[in-house]
A and B are shown apart, each in its own frame.
Chain A
Amino acid sequence: MPMLQVKDLTKQFGGLTAVSKVSFSVNEGEVLGLIGPNGAGKTTCFNMIAGAMNPTKGQIEFEGQRIDGLQAHQISQKGIARTFQIVKPLRNLSVFDNVMIAALSKSKDISQAREIAQEVIDFTGIHDLAKKGAGELSIGNLKRLEVARALATLPRLLLLDEPMGGLNGKEVDQAIELILKINKSGKTVVIIEHIMKALMQVSDRIVVLAQGEKIAEGTPEAISKNEAVITAYLGEEYHAQS
């Protein structure tokens, strides 16, 4: 049985259908890439899975339990963590406290949360920044902090929303390394990313959305040759010319 199963997920904002009958599943231990042009509904999917929004229709099952309609903090308790595309650091607190507070909701006291936070900070390689204010970090480090904070809630499934957006080449390589390391440590990952080279490297499978609908699903190689995907990204005309 898949770890996460999404069935006919639909989200309407007034008359606009942002996500329409999308179904996919995530198997335990894999890295699933979620791609699509801007406005395809990727982040909306994440918001619904993570409980930030309720689906208009459809079901979400995590480890055999229905989780659609639960609040975000309840989803976090179930073992799903997410990062935000537009980073949301607790600006006036230190990097360490950011991570420690994330660990607190699963710890019995502060000293236990501190231990978890220290481990996560070492794991994600932001040790040198621990005492800095989160508001002072560069975008690369903020993205790393997002991941660290998500990991500190001790999730089994991690939803990463564009963890490489705005990073330079070297930072992208580090991010790829980190994601593979997280996956190797036993966590299942779903990742939204626009940097294709990176996504192809980390993903076991890829699901493609366009205009709210799923248009393809498969291995990275298959997806890179899929006609519907190429059309969605580059347009009919370009496709006709080539």
Chain B
Amino acid sequence: MNRQKSYIALSIVVLLLLPLFIKNQFLLHMFILIFLGVIYGQSWNLLGGFTGQISFGHALFFGIGAYGTAKFLTSDSLSKIGVIFNHQADPILAIIFGGLMTILVTFLMGTIIFRLSGPYFGLGTLAMAEIGLVIAMNLKSVTNGGEGILLLDTPSIGPFELMGKTSFYYLILVLMLLTVFFVYQIMRRKMGYFLLAIREDNQAAEAMGVPTKRYKILALMASAFLSALAGGFYTLYVGFISPHDVFSVHTSVEMIFITIVGGVGTLMGPVVGAVVLTVLSEVFKSYFDNAYLIVYGLLLILVILYMPEGIYGYLKKKWNARKKVMADADVAS
């Protein structure tokens, strides 16, 4: 275990030092996309992978987080809240504000959506995300409709202006590390075990004394909050959001792919998935031009067919089998 800890510490140090050596802006951009992918992969995995509630509508939470952040920074009345930190932490407060808005929405939708289960739950979440899109398009007084919201000022945290890739790299790196740590902490506690029990068999979990409905709503809230963080960061990074950018089905699907390709129901799965898919989609884009989606799609089909437990799950299985063979050999000799 200690060896594992030192590996983790080492990789964090490497990631912290990386921008000192990488001056290539595109490469930094890639890292930012990967870290963003890790956050929303973890978000989806918490509800879909660990709790077994397969959502097709996580873009809803991403979108609310993105809009909450944008509104906080652009609306006169909301941005006054920033005074409490003398406007030194506005982007952070904005992201948190987006997260809280999302939690509020999940609290309201949680009691309704968990009346559904299995495929119907998936369809329900898909519908919820579409409702989010329609509202964002039409509630012009709040969302500015299809024109979207543009951030005019460069946000800054204390003395650091969020300008250039390096500053965004550090912001998303911190958010990602916090996300992974957060999910790790949930999964090693009582709540984590309850979520696994719900995934494995809802009725058995109830009979074992698990208040399944309450824990499903809690998992939804935590998961949605993480997606909102990712959405909030997206707003800051891109500086412009519109309904079709953030509430799109594409975002929901991307979260699922990252988790499934990496490994469903594992902490490392979304990390592996985000790295592999982000890198591959860029490589394919440069080789196949517009046809890259076809190649990308084929790859996904292959992974799902031949490694249903995902890349990380597959490697872990191989590794465990090898360890077992070696242990047996030890016993024999």
The chain A residues found within 8 Å of chain B, CB to CB, are 50-52, 71-73, 76-77, 81-82, 84, 88-93, 97, 100-102, 104-106, 109-110, 149-150, 152-153
Bound Cα distance A54, B21 (Å): 65
Is B282 an interface residue, CB under 8 A from the partner?
no
Contact between A88 and B201, CB atoms less than 8 A apart: yes
Give me 19 A-to-B residue pairs in the complex whose CB atoms sit less than 8 angstroms apart, sorted by A's number.
Answer: A52-B206, A52-B207, A71-B206, A72-B203, A72-B206, A73-B209, A73-B210, A76-B209, A84-B207, A88-B201, A89-B200, A90-B204, A100-B193, A102-B208, A105-B209, A105-B210, A149-B208, A150-B207, A153-B209
- Most chain-B CB neighbours within 10 Å: which of A52, A93, A104? A104
Chain A residues lying within 8 Å of B204, measured Cβ to Cβ, are: 84, 88-90, 149
Bound Cα distance A84, B203 (Å): 10
Q: How far is the CB of B9 from chain A (nearest CB, A)?
A: 25
Q: Which of A76, A97, A153 contacts B193 (CB 8 A)?
A: A97
Is B211 an interface residue, CB under 8 A from the partner?
yes
Is B189 an interface residue, CB under 8 A from the partner?
yes
Bound Cα distance A11, B208 (Å): 24
Bound Cα distance A104, B200 (Å): 16
Bound Cα distance A227, B316 (Å): 62
Is B70 an interface residue, CB under 8 A from the partner?
no
The answer to whether residues A73 and B211 also contact, given A84-B204, A92-B200 and a CB cut-off of 8 A, is yes
Bound Cα distance A76, B194 (Å): 15
Chain A residues lying within 8 Å of B210, measured Cβ to Cβ, are: 73, 101, 105
Q: What bracket does the count of chain B residues touching chain A fall in?
A: 10 to 19
Chain B residues lying within 8 Å of A84, measured Cβ to Cβ, are: 203-204, 207
Q: How far is the CB of A130 from chain B (nearest CB, A)?
A: 16
Chain B residues lying within 8 Å of A76, measured Cβ to Cβ, are: 206-209
8 smallest beta-carbon distances between A and B, as pairs: A105-B209, A76-B209, A90-B200, A72-B206, A88-B204, A102-B208, A88-B201, A73-B211
Is B5 an interface residue, CB under 8 A from the partner?
no
Q: Which of B190, B209, B211, B265 contacts A102 (CB 8 A)?
A: B209
- Most chain-A CB neighbours within 10 Å: which of B200, B203, B208, B265? B208
Contact between A93 and B196, CB atoms less than 8 A apart: yes
- Most chain-B CB neighbours within 10 Å: which of A73, A76, A91? A73
Chain A residues lying within 8 Å of B55, measured Cβ to Cβ, are: none
Chain A residues lying within 8 Å of B194, measured Cβ to Cβ, are: 101, 104
- Most chain-A CB neighbours within 10 Å: which of B205, B212, B265? B205
Contact between A72 and B196, CB atoms less than 8 A apart: no
Contact between B206 and A88, CB atoms less than 8 A apart: no
Bound Cα distance A90, B197 (Å): 6
Chain B residues lying within 8 Å of A88, measured Cβ to Cβ, are: 201, 203-204, 207
- Most chain-B CB neighbours within 10 Å: which of A51, A77, A90, A150? A90
Chain A residues lying within 8 Å of B190, measured Cβ to Cβ, are: 104, 109-110
Chain B residues lying within 8 Å of A82, measured Cβ to Cβ, are: 207
